[in-house]
Amino acid sequence: MKKIERVSLVDAVSRQLRDRIAGGHWPVGQRLPSEGELAERFGLSRVSIRAAAHGLAQMGLLTTRQGDGTYVAARDATDVAIRRRLDDAPNGDALEVRRGLDILAAGLAATRRTQHDITALDDALARRHAAGTAGDEAAFVAADVDFHLHVARASHNELLAELYSTFTRALTDSIRDDRCLKVFTQGRDTWHNTLATAIAEGDADKATTASLALLRGH
């Protein structure tokens, strides 16, 4: 019976820790309070706190840095699971799924975008253009990724946006590996602007066409 009771306590504190992480009480990258502090806060033993933290680390939500403490690694276990699945999937499979989400997001964004979305897209394009002109590949790639993420968010489909965000690393690699900066400097990159314009104008067909053309370039 004691074993069952202890497992119940561990599950309870694990849920509370997950809720605090998901709610942003402890943002990604922040160090958690010490085991002693958490034990006092929850009125539990350090053993229960340690067991709960270990379970969350196995899920990918927490990470332990030797001699430094325990840090938040991710907000959502589902997101971690999807990212791990993407890491295991062949590159071609992940690219096909991302492209499908790109096309869907573009069409939805054109019919659901707000002024805030349009401003965010314009800002990402401006940063992308400035970085491309300066030849700053890191800033160029980051702005390009932001642009695509904003298109997904402009769909105002929360699930689609969350799924798309899991492709951030794959998208970053794709933009870098396909030498998109070189395409930009050669003046052959026009579809990002076309896509942003179509979304701003509310033209779903034009946005979908632009997204397809852009993907052929990526």
Superfamily of domain 79-217: GntR ligand-binding domain-like (1.20.120.530)
pLDDT tens, residue by residue, 80-128: 666 666 666 676 677 778 888 999 999 999 999 999 999 999 999 999 9
Of 54, 48, 180, 199, residue with least CA distance to 116: 199
| pTM of the predicted model as reported, rounded to 2 decimal places | 0.65
Task: Decide yes or no: CATH 1.10.10.10 for domain 2-75.
Answer: yes
* CA 62 – CA 21 distance, rounded (Å): 10
* CA 58 – CA 50 distance, rounded (Å): 12
Phi-psi category of residue 69: left, alpha or beta, with phi > 0 → left and psi -120 to 50 → alpha: left
pLDDT of residue 168: 79
pLDDT tens, residue by residue, 20-62: 888 888 887 889 999 899 999 888 888 989 999 988 888 888 8
pLDDT of residue 78: 67
Res. 155: pLDDT tops 80: yes
Which residue ranges does the chain devote to CATH 1.20.120.530? 79-217
pLDDT of residue 3: 47
* CA 138 – CA 159 distance, rounded (Å): 28
Please report, rounded to a whole number, the percentage of residues in the chain having pLDDT higher than 90: 38
* CA 183 – CA 35 distance, rounded (Å): 52
Comparison of pLDDT for 198 and 170, the residue scoring more = 198
Which residue ranges does the chain devote to CATH 1.10.10.10? 2-75
pLDDT of residue 192: 93
> Which range has highest mean pLDDT (10-24, 57-71, 122-136, 183-197)?
122-136
